[in-house]
Structure 1
Amino acid sequence: MSDQYSLNTRFCEICAVFLGKRGKDSVPSLTRALDTIATDLARNEDLRTRMGSDDPSIWPSLHQLWNFLANYPSADADDPALGILIVSIARFTRNLVAGVAMNQQNAYADEPSLRRILHLYSSWSAFRSTDCNAFPPTRMVVQALSNIVTTNEDLISRLWNTYLTLPEEQVVLIRLLGSPDPKTLLSLLVLMVNCIHNSTERRSLLAKSRVGARICITLLDRMVLLYDAEDSSDSAKAFDYGYHLFAHLFDGGFVPDLYNSLSVEGEVIAPHQTTLLKLLDSYLQSSQTCPMHCDMCHMLSGIFFRLSSYSQSAIRRAIGPEQSEPLNGTNELPQELDLLLPKTCEALVLATQCIVKISLLSEEQWNTDPSAVDLRAIFRDSTSVDGQGTAESVIELLRLLDAFLPRIYFGKAVINPVTDRNVTSPAADPSGFSYLKRDLVRFVGVLCHKDKALQDRIRICGGIPVIMNMCVVDERNPYLREHAILALRNLLDDNRENKDEVNNIQPSGYWDNEGVLREKAGATLR
């Protein structure tokens, strides 16, 4: 097999024998020969080039093999011999085309056959997920398809445009993302990341098209399941590649398009949008430079207002229109519990963290380069649909949260009927509210830093007493007191009016050892 002419001749001969007999008895000899050739091809790029270009041409025989497999009766898809044959032919194809543009071009003619096989095996494995016989053929075909197009811009574009414009039920990417085999999922995500790498057009198609949205929804579901995978496992590697795929979309500024495509009519926040915000938050926290995407900032500002407005309305319904002081220590039950409030607040924490990170990065960049865009201004100057400004929205929400949520003081919760009267509704679950006060207070501190206009707005809307009231220990909000002190420092910085406001505020109560606010005798409550 070392002689090139004899290698091509041998390949054509064994293919002709198999296609002539088409029986199970001829499968072992074909697979043994293909596996031997595939091993040699993997080691020798020059051999790949010569085998793909010399006579007799191997391509007609290879096309016939793939066509035979693509038209194999689906009723016999669970035949182990068929799976073994697919693995051998796919491995041969994968190794033959690796890094050789001409071979890739010739092999791409078999893409419809490969797609049909993937469609067959993804359907079969969906019903037989406990049987791993379908995994090796599916995985190897995906790897072959990946090698056929990788580094070949023309073929990648043709493949991506084809797959994202197919009828939804025929999109094998969606079906394969549901594969229970992490190795198959990893191979698929490698292919997808390679497809959108350095291509604005292909990223746009993924973020904006209907099929692209379905792909992203399916991938987000898988990433939730893969999040706790053991380090260095195939599942963990698949999660990393999924994250890289979304990071490419974030880099390209496609967050608003993708977020909107994940929306569900009638819902303030969809589960997949929350998962996307988690990925965006992770992406931003790992960034060393500020992503200059104004559209993303406007999107985050809109998300914040929408979630804040919903949370304010839900809390008002819970504590009642006349309730303006904390419920701590009272026997008053909540009037109406909103089942969506915890999830809304969870998403609100993520949106706030994203905004704070962008603001900090932008301020740092603006300090070193005054010509840079100050993205903080987008958040500072935005208003909600009802005309509420950012500062006013944050302060009002903090005021309501202080009346609605108990503080946890050194492991002891301040009594609050919303969460301490055997209320079994999911809305009473405090886990969805973790870190909310802390991040909102931090948001105030970041926005008003060296900004007298915003400092004044916070004072005018009554925000200084609210921030002062956050200078407490709350185990649900780690470092709440520290962030509140820093926010208060930024509010008073070079602002005489705010300092006078603080000096005029006299303590009207004190916190006892149980973390309950007690009124001082003779004090006037503000």
Structure 2
Amino acid sequence: MDGVPENILQPLLAAGNSSKLDKALENLIELARTTDGRSDLASNNMIITNTLHLCKSLAFNSCFDTLLLALKLIRNLCAGETRNQDSFIELNGFDIVSDIISCRKVVTDLNYGIIRMGLQVLANVSLAGEEHQIVIWNRVCSLEFAEIAKLRRKEICDPLCMIIYACIEENQELLHQLCLDRGLPLLVEIVRTASDVGFGENWLKLILTRTCVEESYFTSLFSKMLYNPSDSTFTHDQSFLLSILSEMINEQIEHITVSKVFAFDVFNLLKIALTVLNCVSRPKSGIPTGSTDIDVLGYSLCILRNICAFDGHVEIIESLLSLGLIHMLLELLRELEPPAIIRKTLNRAENSDTNTYSGKVCPYKGFRCDIVAIIGNCAYKRKHVQDEIREKNGILLMLQQCVIDDENPFLREWGLFGVRNLLEGNLENERVVTDLEIQGSVNLPEFAQLGLRVDVDPQTRRPKLVNTTE
């Protein structure tokens, strides 16, 4: 091949058992797919040496098809084979591959395959250990790689995230560097790419959980997602970021160490997001709704709901309570119009065809459930929370959530869960319900017309909700 020195070309042709370079590379790629094949090729250090030199020559000649094969061979050679991984670093392979995938000619020609393959090479080498990761890191956290992340391609985003996570998983210093001024532009562009085109593997989720949930960099990243000003308070990228974190906390809450800073940041974000309640229409769906402001509100509530559901977060929950979480949620419930079934039955009782109850509407289906769930989670075996809810006249308010509501699936279940936690082990709260009793039951119009009543056991004097329609 023109431009490739014979001392590079001939050993590869011989090892690949072909007189044609592309065929020789294909044969070597197939051989390097297996552990034994990689081991055999690693014993001949000239294979990876010559292939790296070949890559350098081909990049200048714009022989992109052959270059892709050469990179694929290096990727396979470095898949768990320590000798090849070490040789890659010793031969300055990282700079060679980095120069190729960040080359203006490659990017301009939109050779996503070459860029993806080059990143997969670096990802395999990064798995070799800290020494290799540090060499790789200094180049990854650069503007060149931030530009690569801007290409908005899923197949580029995934291996790039794999490299980053391998480097920060157990290295606190590299994690901090990623979230500071030098590395943050790269992380921002990765999130924007994933927001635009999605992602195929879980590396991004792991990075965001590590940096935003377990560490204290959520607000730093979230604030950088503000661009393209619009009428919305929040952007699509911010909503996307929060959705990923909400999903991870929901799925992995028992395996994630949530930082107090993150919990406080989400609480403060919730207070900002609640302003959207002043201008929303009746909900048509759960989150995501298509409205970035409403979605940020919903994901914030979901995150707090799951944090407050886990016993391992006692200190964080107590800190959130000290910030006025219960007071805020009770006031929010009071501001909402009553559940639909209560509105309808009371309107019928008053012979009115129109809604006589004013109040804010739920911005998405499940909004009321999320509020009730957080209150119920916080009240579980916490007498001071049970007492606070009673002192703020919240027991009857919680009882009113024990109904079926089309706009809030499982509201009745969450309401019953919350009421049970309010009454469990708290005689004062039980007495509040007992004081509403009329000849053995609480005969409130809201419950009588809905087929519900609160019965009080004559011996234990403990109240319980009964569905009279069953």
Alignment TM-score, normalising by the size of structure 2: 0.72
Report the CA distance between 1:437 and its aligned residue: 0.8
**Equivalent-residue separation in structure 1 for 2:162 and 2:155 (angstroms):** 11
Q: Does 1:116 align with 2:99?
A: yes
1:472 aligns with 2:465: no
SS in 2 for 1:51: coil
AA partner of residue 124 (structure 2) = N
- Give, in angstroms, the shift of residue 395 of structure 1: 0.3
Q: Distance in 2 between matches of 1:508 and 1:96?
A: 75
Match of 2:303 in 1: 354
Letter in structure 2 aligned against 1:216: L
The equivalent position to 2:377 in structure 1, one of 443, 446, 452, is 446
- Pick the aligned partner of 2:222 from 241, 262, 266: 262
Any conservation in 1 of the 2:115–2:156 contact (CA below 8 Å)? Answer: yes
Counterpart residue type for residue 32 of structure 1:
K
Residues 494, 50 of structure 1: CA spacing in aligned structure 2 closer, same or farther, 3 A cutoff?
A: closer
| Corresponding position of 2:202 | 240
Within a 5 Å distance, the mapping from 1:15-414 to structure 2 comes to: 29-43=20-34, 44-52=37-45, 59=49, 61-62=50-51, 64-72=53-61, 82-108=63-89, 109-119=92-102, 120=104, 123-124=107-108, 134-164=111-141, 166=142, 168=143, 171-175=146-150, 178-179=152-153, 182-206=154-178, 208-210=179-181, 212-224=183-195, 238-249=200-211, 253-254=214-215, 256-263=216-223, 269-287=234-252, 289=254, 291-293=256-258, 296-308=259-271, 310-311=273-274, 313=275, 315=277, 343-362=292-311, 374-381=315-322, 383=323, 389-402=324-337
Alignment-mate amino acid for residue 482 of structure 1? E
The CA RMSD over aligned residues, in Å, is 4.4
Classify 1:269/1:462 alpha carbon distance in 2 versus 1 (closer, same or farther; 3 Å): farther
Displacement after TM superposition at 1:299 (Å): 2.8
Percentage of matched positions with identical amino acids: 19
Cα shift at 1:105: 4.0
Matching residue's letter, 2:27: T
Question: Distance in 1 between the 2:6 and 2:28 partners?
Answer: 10
2:117 and 2:417 map into 1 onto residues whose CA distance is 56
| 1:455 and 2:430 are equivalent in the alignment | no
SS at match of 1:71: helix
Deviation, 1:400, is: 1.0
Distance 1:492 1:159 in 2: 57
Q: 1:345 to 1:239 in 2, by over 3 A?
A: same
How many residues are aligned here? 414
The 8 Å contact of residues 268 and 306 in structure 1, kept in 2 or not, is answered as: no
1:104 and 1:436 map into 2 onto residues whose CA distance is 51
- Distance in 1, matches of 2:255 and 2:120, equals 36
Q: Is the 8 A contact 1:52 1:58 kept in 2?
A: yes
Gapped runs of 5+ residues in structure 1?
Answer: 1-8, 18-27, 127-133, 228-234, 320-326, 329-339, 367-372, 384-388, 420-426, 516-526
Map of 2:424 onto structure 1: 493
Q: How far 1:222 moved relative to its partner?
A: 4.3
Is 1:433 aligned with 2:422?
Answer: no
Equivalent position to 2:10, from 8, 14, 21: 14
| Aligned residue number for residue 422 of structure 1 | none
Query: What corresponds to 1:523 in structure 2?
Result: none
- 1:414-442 Cα shifts (integer Å, max 9, x gaps): 976999xxxxxxx99x6x42211111111
Can you list the C-alpha shifts for 1:2-49, whole angstroms capped at 9, x where unaligned?
Answer: xxxxxxx986353899xxxxxxxxxx9332333334444444234323
Gaps of 5+ in 2: 14-18, 283-288, 348-352, 437-441, 452-470
Conserved 8 A contact 2:79-2:124? yes
Q: Is the 8 A contact 2:48 2:87 kept in 1?
A: no
**Residue type of the alignment partner of 2:304:** I
Structure 1 residues 199-230: Cα deviation after superposition (integer angstroms, max 9, x where no partner): 32333333x13454343334334444666xxx
Question: How far 1:158 moved relative to its partner?
Answer: 1.7
* Cα pair 1:394 1:444 within 8 Å, conserved: yes
